[in-house]
Structure 1
Amino acid sequence: KKEPSPNPSLPDDFLLSCFARISTLYYPSLSLVSKSFRSLLTSPELYKVRSLSDHTECCLYVGPVSILNCRSHTWSEGPSMRDDLYSLSASVVDEKIYVPFFQKKKKKKSLHVFDTETQTWDPVTIGLKDGFYNESIDGKFLVVASNKQVVIYDPKKVRWDAVRIRSRMDCNMDLSLLIYCEIDNVLYSAWGGGESSDGRWRELEGLVGLPELTSESCVRLADHGGKMAVLVSQNLSFYSRFSHKKVIWCGEISLERRNGGCEIWGKVEWFDHVLTVPAGCHVVKVLGVTV
C-alpha cells in the first residue's frame, strides 16, 4: 500500500501575507502550531508586511520594568543606573525616554534621559524642587509639580519654559496626583478632564457607563489608537474571602470634538473586568503600541 506523501509546506511570503491580516491577539495561539509559525510570528519581516499593507493595530501593553519588544514579545534588561531610584512616570520624545526619579538615599528629585540609540542614561537639569509627574505632548516634554507649577522642555531648542495652567482646579487640587495621557495633542487627566493648547482644563462630557472612581482606585490612562484606554485596579474588600486579590477593569472611550472644538465628549465603548491578580501586584504603566 502506497503511503500518502506529506503536505508541502506553504511559502513564507504567503504565510507572512496571511499573518499580517490577522490581529496580533491571535499570534500566541498561532505560535503553538509549529516552530516555523512561531519563527515567522516573531520575525521583523512580519511587521514590515503589516506596515506596508496597512494592517497595523494599536495594542495595549502593561509593564512595570525592563524593556519590552512589542513585536517579539520578549523582555530585555536596560542599562542600570548608579543610584537607587524610584519612578512611576516616563515619556518618550524624539526616541528618548524622559524619566523623573526620586533618589531614595539622597531624598531628592532628579530627571534622567535614556537614549534608545546609544543605550545610555544622562541627567538633565530641571528647576523644580518638588515632586513631579511628566507627559509628552506635541513633541515636547511637560512636567507638572505638586505645587501646581508646570514647565515644558523643548528638545529642539534645548529650553525649559514655564506654562500657566488656567483652571478652576488650581485652588483645590494637587496636579501632581492626576493621572495623565496625551491623545492628539490634548492632555487628559483621570480626575480633571482635558487640557487644550490654550492651557485651559475642561470637563470631558458624556462618559455614561463609566463607574465612579474613588480615592482607592488606581487608574492608568493610555492613547489606544486615538481612543482613551482606561485601566482601573482595586483591592477586593478586606471582609471578603478574596481579600488577598486585586481586580482589574479595562475600558475604551471614544472622543469627539463638538461646538467648534470647544467641547470634547467621551463615549464609553466598553468597560469590563479583565483580570484578577494577587493584591501585591501594581499597575505601574500602560502604553498603547502600534504594531
Structure 2
Amino acid sequence: MRVARASAAANVVDGKIYVFGGCKEFDSSNWAEVFDPKTQTWDTLILPDLEICKNTSMIEKSVVIEDKVYVVDEEEQCFYYMPREGIWRRGIRDSKLGNRKDWCAIGKLLYCYGTRGKILWCEADELDRCEAEELNWREVEGLGILQFGSKACKRGIEESLAWKLHWTMNSFSRLSSNSRGNIVVFWKVLIPGTGKLQLWCAEISMERRSQGGGVCGTIEWTDAVSGLGPNSYTVKVLYSVSLNV
C-alpha cells in the first residue's frame, strides 16, 4: 500500500486486492487502492461522491457478494463498489455495529456474530436497499448451546461444549466460512484451576427452513485446535481453511 492504514477494508475480487479507508484524509488519492498480484502494482481508484460516503476513514465491516465489495464505516453508512464497472453506490445503514462482528456471506445470506455467542443472519440483498431503515438481523435457530454460560446439554458433545463455553473468555474470537460453505467460529477458553488457555473451534452447517423462513444451525464438530501461551489474551484468528487429512 502507498500509505499506512488502520481499520481499513481489504477484499479480493477477480484475483485483485481492493483496499478502502483507514487513512486520515478521505479526499486523498490513496483512500481507495487496488493491488494486482500479477503485475505487483498498486492503482488508485476513483473516490465515491460525498452523497454516497461522507468523510469516511475507519471501516468497521466489509464483505464481497456477487463481485461487489460492501463496506460499513464508523458512522454506520453502508456503501459498495463494483470493480468491473468502476462504480460506487450507497447502501443501507447498519446500527449497533459494536454488537455485530465478522460479516460472512454464504450464498444469498449474510452472517455475523452478536453478543453472548449468538449468530445472526439477514438477506444479503438488503445491503442494496438504501431506502430501508436498517438491516433486519435475525438469530440463527438451534444454537442455544453456543450462548456463553449456558449449562443445557442433550448429548455428550453438547455437554463438553457447554462446559467449555461456560469458561469462555468474552465472546467469539472469529467467525468465518470454509470451503464446504459452513460457518466456522473460534473462541478462547481459560481452563479453570490450571491457568491454561485453549483456542476452540466449531463448524456449523446452516439450513434455510423455507422461502422467507428462518435459518437453523447444526454443530457438525467442535474441539480444541490449539493451546495458547499465557500472554495470548489478544490472539486473533486471521483466516480458516478446510483440509482433508
Task: Report if aligned partners of 2:113, 2:175 keep a CA contact under 8 Å in 1.
Answer: yes
The answer to whether the aligner puts 1:92 opposite 2:12 as a matched pair is yes
Tell which structure's C-alpha radius of gyration is larger: 1
Which residue is equivalent to 1:27? none
Q: In structure 2, how many angstroms separate the alpha carbons of the residues matched to 1:95 and 1:220?
A: 24
Which residue is equivalent to 1:6? none
Q: Secondary structure at the match of 1:209?
A: helix
For residues 58-87 of structure 1, give each alpha carbon's deviation from its aligned partner in whole angstroms, at most 9, with x where no partner exists: xxxxxxxxxxxxxxxxxxxxxxx3433335
Q: Are the structure 2 counterparts of residues 111 and 179 from structure 1 closer, same or farther at C-alpha, using a change threshold of 3 Å?
A: same
Q: Which residue of the other structure, out of 198, 214, 236, is the alignment partner of 1:283? A: 236
Task: Report if aligned partners of 1:220, 1:232 keep a CA contact under 8 Å in 2.
Answer: yes
1:185 counterpart letter in structure 2: K
| Percent identical | 32
Task: Report if aligned partners of 1:88, 1:285 keep a CA contact under 8 Å in 2.
Answer: no
Q: Are the structure 2 counterparts of residues 130 and 195 from structure 1 closer, same or farther at C-alpha, using a change threshold of 3 Å?
A: farther
CA RMSD of aligned residues (A): 3.3
User: What number of residue pairs does the alignment pair up?
Assistant: 200
Q: In structure 2, how many angstroms separate the alpha carbons of the residues matched to 1:226 and 1:211?
A: 22
Which residue is equivalent to 1:174? 97
Which residue is equivalent to 1:113? 34
Task: Report if aligned partners of 2:104, 2:175 keep a CA contact under 8 Å in 1.
Answer: yes
List runs of 5+ in structure 1 lacking aligned partners.
Answer: 1-80
Q: Secondary structure at the match of 2:22?
A: strand
Which residue is equivalent to 2:43? 122
Q: Secondary structure at the match of 1:231?
A: strand
Q: Are the structure 2 counterparts of residues 284 and 251 from structure 1 closer, same or farther at C-alpha, using a change threshold of 3 Å?
A: closer
1:95 counterpart letter in structure 2: G
Q: Secondary structure at the match of 1:179?
A: strand
Q: In structure 2, how many angstroms separate the alpha carbons of the residues matched to 1:153 and 1:290?
A: 32
1:268 counterpart letter in structure 2: I
Q: Are the structure 2 counterparts of residues 207 and 176 from structure 1 closer, same or farther at C-alpha, using a change threshold of 3 Å?
A: closer
1:271 counterpart letter in structure 2: T
Q: In structure 2, how many angstroms separate the alpha carbons of the residues matched to 1:267 and 1:146?
A: 33
Select between 178-187 and 205-214 the one with higher mean Cα deviation: 205-214
